Amino acid sequence: MERRLMPAGSPPDRPPQGDAPPAMPAGPSGPLRTVVFDLYVRPAQRHPAIWRLLLGLVLCLGVYVAWIAVTLFVSAAVWPDRDFWGVAEAVAVPELPVSTLILMATFAGMALGPMIAARLLQGRRPGTLFGPARRLLRDFVLGAGTVIAVYLPALALWALVFDARPNLAPATWVALLPLSALGLLIQTGAEEILFRGYLGQQLAARFRSPAIWLLVPALLFGALHYDPVSAGANTLAVVASAALFGLLAADLVRVSGGLGASWGMHFANNAVALLVLTTQGSITGLSLWLTPYALDDEGPLRWLMLGDAVLITLIWAVLRWRLTRLHSRRAGSI
């Protein structure tokens, strides 16, 4: 028998049927939960068993690996003088625009896996991973706009201390911008769907404790960024920074009841970090400028990472305040 956590006010003997929007529950169903988050989690409560989630994650990994292989094979077929392993080597060190775009294309498999798993193992539509469609774009724009508003003055201050090094020619950068933006939408969207969507929803459907449904996806997201070859002595700092980002993004999902705000924040953050000013030794193929320091430099980078953590926390606080006001107003009108 599969254990379900039903929101307060929901009949325990009548699990949600189909994917029609459920009725508003009487109140949050557990610690740190919001009404909109309970609505977001409710489709996952059809089949919340842990074995289904674990099997789903295995399926996600299989789809992701298969998609990477297909992407590399197709790329090798159209990239002159590069075989499969040559493309794989270029993608592993994404210093060229084409190799970086291929890398971003591989993340489509990361997005596809949870969609297939949600349908086959949890019996729900892929659309339930995103939250209400009517709020997705609004919250996305809010998240991205807040990041830009905070990062623009921060970049101006950075430029007073450091000299950026040119990377792509401006004309090339502009010509590639549509593909770069599409690639970032795929890459950031895939990570949001997997970590804050599928994994976060299914854990919240099975466990009441936020220590599980908030922290576990954040820690796994941080572990995804473990790369001692590139980051060297800064590896643990990079992992901790990514885990903090994952935790703050998960909290935005908790407050908003969907992926829009966290996806927008993630997209704009990565747009600055991968398209505008990129740290040497990371994913530099599409960036307009490079930093004068590398990812494994132990000098200024650690302090800059600490400053970046402060900035992303500020962005989260502003977004959380704005989203709380928006959804409190919506709840009061029901």
Q: Confirm if 188 and 270 have CB atoms less than 8 A apart.
A: yes
The DSSP annotation for 81-103 comes to: T--HHHHHHHHHS--SHHHHHHH
Eight-class DSSP state of 281: T
Give the start-end residues of each E strand in 38-179: 165-166
pLDDT at 31: 76
Consecutive 10-residue averages of pLDDT for the chain (334 residues): 45 39 50 90 95 97 98 93 92 95 97 98 96 94 97 95 96 97 98 97 94 96 93 93 97 96 98 96 96 89 90 97 79 42
pLDDT at 14: 39
pLDDT at 260: 97
pLDDT at 80: 85
pLDDT at 8: 41
The whole-angstrom separation of Cα 136 and Cα 329 is 17
pLDDT at 326: 81
Q: Confirm if 260 and 131 have CB atoms less than 8 A apart.
A: yes
Instruction: Give the sign of the dihedral formed by CA 165, CA 282, CA 305, CA 195.
Output: positive
CA trace torsion 185, 188, 192, 194 (10° rounding): 100
**What is the tens place of the pLDDT at every residue in 66-82?**
999 999 999 999 988 89
Q: Confirm if 5 and 25 have CB atoms less than 8 A apart.
A: no
